[in-house]
Amino acid sequence: MAKQESFLKMRGVIGDLSFSKHRTRGYEVRTKGGVSKDRIMKDPNFVRTRENMREFGTASNKSRQIRRQLNNLSRGTADGSMGNRLLSLVYRIQKRDSESVRGSRTFRPENAKSLQGFEFNRYSNLSAVFSAPLEASLDRETGTVKLVVPPFDPRVDVYLFQDATHIRFSMAAAILPDTDLVLPQPMIAETDYIPLIGLYGGADLYSLIPTPSAEVVYTVVGISIYQQVNRMFFSLNKGIHNALSIVQVDLPEE
């Protein structure tokens, strides 16, 4: 693929040339071509392509539901590649469906455990920011999800970013969307602003899910980094150090 080296930075189509700007490679130019959409949709030689397209569309819908469901929690933390990374993960999980025929494979609940450990910010890992264990538990009878933030010493258990003065934990639990409808956004629980000086005594955070629940329930935990200035708290470096992760996925039979 050719790159544009002149001072003219172009986007669009001129004749058979298509000009665009890639996120990392810069301005590029390529020739138009390829197989027509009509042929792809009708030609028997492209049956596998059509199957892949259907499954990719299903995965895209599932990942979009999850993003929308967690929008309030991930805003200010998720990096620009989060959507593509989540879609890629959902697509891989979907391919593990061993019961449906190719082209009709779906995200099956028994494979949902693979969501566990997904990081919404590739620049900041939850376990790297906070090294002490975070324990989450689900009571399906009451619909209560509990996260235990243990007592800790910030000098030992927290990665101390320059100019950071406080951190804050957040947690939410949600039922994994399993229909075309997007489920309501989950209830978010947060700690107070925790100073990065002195010992912290720990806290319990709670989130609720509808009951009775026989669906996949996943728990998301975040850590936000702040700088205090004149009694006001500001997200450090526009949130680039904030971390958010799916820490637990509970299957219906568990």
Rounded-to-integer distance, Cα 141 and Cα 145, Å:
11
**Does the pLDDT at position 249 exceed 80?**
yes
Does the domain spanning 126-250 belong to CATH 2.20.220? Answer: no
Rounded-to-integer distance, Cα 121 and Cα 129, Å:
12
Nearest to 209 by CA among 252, 160, 173: 173
Nearest to 247 by CA among 212, 223, 215: 223
Domain segments of the chain as ranges: 2-31, 50-115, 126-250
Strand partners, 138: 145
Confidence class for position 7, pLDDT limits 50, 70, 90: very low
User: Kind and range of the H or E element at 47?
Assistant: helix 47-69
Q: Two tokens at 212? A: 């009775």
* Residue 20 CB contacts under 8 Å (≥ 6 apart), including other chains: 11, 27, 28, 29, 30
Confidence class for position 14, pLDDT limits 50, 70, 90: low
Per-residue model confidence as pLDDT tens digits over 75-90: 889 999 999 999 999 9
- Greater model confidence, 167 or 15: 167
Report how far apart the first and last C-alpha atoms of the chain are (Å, whole number): 50
- Greater model confidence, 141 or 27: 141
Least confident of 52-61, 139-148, 159-168, 231-240: 52-61
